[in-house]
Amino acid sequence: MLAAGERVVMISGANRGIGAATARRLAAGGFRLSLGVRNGKTPAVPASARCLVARYEARDRESAKAWVDATLERFGRIDALVNNAGISRLSTLEDESEDTLDEMWLVNVKAPLRVIRAALPHLKKSGVGRVVNVASLSGKRVKNANAGYAMTKFALMALTHSVRRLGWEHGIRATAVCPSFVATDMTADVQEVDRAEMIPPEEIAELVATVLSLPNNAAVAELLVNMRHEDMV
């Protein structure tokens, strides 16, 4: 494995929640960072010689390639992606409008696909390329009426395993991190779970750092992270 200080990691949604915690953790670990944030958003780690802050808008088809190009221009290589940017909207089976579902599909599935596609040649060159997709336990089972959100997270799981299959011979290892409720802005309106019981985003960041540190012969495909006991298939 390359030393942390030699490795370049791209992180989307790096201005809050899991993305911000991951950026801080990896910066402390010596990684070089390329942080993708929306216009006007303040990243968790300020721009420096070791940290590029770049515009990344998940809804914009061209944004992924532009971010990858900016990362290469600054650092000359890409060793890992952390696809963290995502949204949660209510979209049930009975909703006749598909606008909300389309928005989640774009941000939660097509956006990470586009970043992976743009970075893939450079991850292959690395020899120790890593892709970490921040998914959800909603990508492993369905426990509520929000079918649309679950559908996008199931799709993100499929994308993760596709990257594992395609990239394996090139040293690329892909992992889906699947948490239950995390204490971030996304769960601010959740009423059925006490916020103090939710997973701190820093703990998810620690797991991401662990996955990035593993050698090619110790790959983890999925990490299921729960705040309570529940039967899992």
Query: What are the boundaries of each domain within the chain?
Result: 4-225
Catalytic residue IDs: 149
For the record, the structure tokens of 33 come out as 């960072």
pLDDT single digits (tens) 92-115: 999 999 999 999 999 999 999 999
Q: How confident is the model at residue 233 (pLDDT cuts 50, 70, 90)?
A: low
Comparing 185 with 59, the larger pLDDT belongs to 59
Give residues with Cβ within 8 angstroms of 47, minimum separation 6: 53
As a whole number, the mean pLDDT across the chain is 95
pLDDT single digits (tens) 68-100: 999 999 999 999 999 999 999 999 999 999 999
Query: CB–CB of 174/163 below 8 Å?
Result: yes
CATH code assigned to 4-225: 3.40.50.720
DSSP code string of 90-150: ---TT-S--HHHHHHHIIIIIHHHHHHHHHHHHHHHHSS-EEEEE--GGGT---SS-HHHH
pLDDT at res. 185: 76
pLDDT single digits (tens) 158-183: 999 999 999 999 999 999 999 999 99
